A and B are shown apart, each in its own frame.
Chain A
């Protein structure tokens, strides 16, 4: 044994092989253990809040608003005319002057 040849000596060190099922055991254990979800940062919270406020497609929103306005407006118009009819009938009933 050449004592001054340390590298040669260390190179003789043998490494036992891992058991063949080691990788599968690790994979199986991981499958049954939870994975920690990343903590929500303030930046991502702010982004979430902004995404609730910011209108993604303004033109679509405006067009939808106009259509809904027209439809609701038309429905409201019919309601007014019916009210007018009701009021006029009330006046007709009051023609006798009892009110």
Chain B
């Protein structure tokens, strides 16, 4: 397995997205709503990187995200890896990956991650007021709307970052890279 610089650029891009999410939610705190858009973090690495580099990329991104969250250590890491396993399992059926498919995958993963965080919160505090489910519904709706333009921007941002680092966006697939 050759040294692959792609993972470094993709980790940096993921950290930018996580920081952006924190900044947006800081601004939204006064309105009692929040948005959640971490679905796009997994798509590009899972589609393009070989398993070793994919593990490194998502491992560092997941643990960095975990450090800032009240969830158990490794929660986000596990979600990222499960998302990658899902994409790896269906990758051969996707054929040539189009941008719309990438966005669709990001949207789907974001919904799954939102559900996982909600499940964790419910298991942590079984006593909730009626406002909890109202808030979850509004946050979920907003997040799933917001993740579409964010994913579109983020995939362009990743390609620009790769180009800036002197790498081409058309990397070999994992099977070829191994």
**Co-complex (A, B):** no
